Amino acid sequence: MILSINIPDAIDAELVKEFCLANGYSTKLEDGTDNPDTPKQFMKKKVIEFIKEPLRGVRIGKEMAKVRAQAGTAVDLELNIT
C-alpha cells in the first residue's frame, strides 16, 4: 500500500510552518548544533511516527501477553503447593 499526501503549493509553506510550530521543530538541536532536518523532512517524519507509534504499541502488547502467558505456565509447573 502506498499512502501519500498532496499539499497544494498555495498553502505548502504556511502549512509546513504551522505544523512545525505545533510539533516543536527547531533549527537547532538540544546540543546547539544545526538541525539536519528541514521543516518538510521534520513534518514527514512526524506524520510517519504518528502512524507507526500506535501500531508499535499494539505489537509490543501482543508480545508481552505471550511472555506473561509463558512465564505463568513456567511458574505454575514449578510450584507444588499442597
pLDDT tens-place string over residues 33-46? 999 999 999 999 99
| pLDDT (0 to 100) of residue 78 | 67
Integer-rounded Cα radius of gyration of the chain? 22
DSSP sequence for 4-67: -----HHHHHHHHHHHHHHTT--SB-TTSSBPSS-HHHHHHHHHHHHHHHHHHHHHHHHHHHHH
Q: Which amino acid would we find at residue 58?
A: V
Parts of the chain with a pLDDT under 50: none
| pLDDT (0 to 100) of residue 3 | 86
Give whole-number Cα distances, 81 to 68, 75, 77, 78, in Å.
Answer: 21, 12, 11, 10
- Give dist(CA 50, CA 42) in Å, integer: 12
| pLDDT (0 to 100) of residue 31 | 96
